[in-house]
Amino acid sequence: MILKGNLISGEFDEEMNEFSLQEVKHLTIESTIKEKQLQMLYQYLIKHQDDLDGQVIVLNDQIPLRLSQEEIRLFLNDLEMVQSHYH
């Protein structure tokens, strides 16, 4: 099932119960996210959503990507959408 949020898009595999992240802020990537990984990222961003300078996340262990405060909120909304598909 294709999922498209504000900042991320990818495909959720219901059989494998995992999300294949394919795009973040218009950058094409390929990364598989298990439910526990998504929860850890979500909790980290929740704790830092009010940081004035935003946050930097690293994609594929090599691509730093800056998120502003507003982008963190959008990213959190996208993660909630993905989270609702895990079982």
Query: By the 8 A CB rule, do 18 and 3 touch?
Result: no
pLDDT of residue 79: 98
> H or E segment at 44?
helix 35-48
Q: What is the reported pTM?
A: 0.93
CA angle 60, 17, 67 (to 5 degrees): 35
User: Tens-of-pLDDT digits for all 87 residues of the chain?
Assistant: 999 999 999 999 999 999 999 999 999 999 999 999 999 999 999 999 999 999 999 988 889 999 999 999 999 999 999 999 999
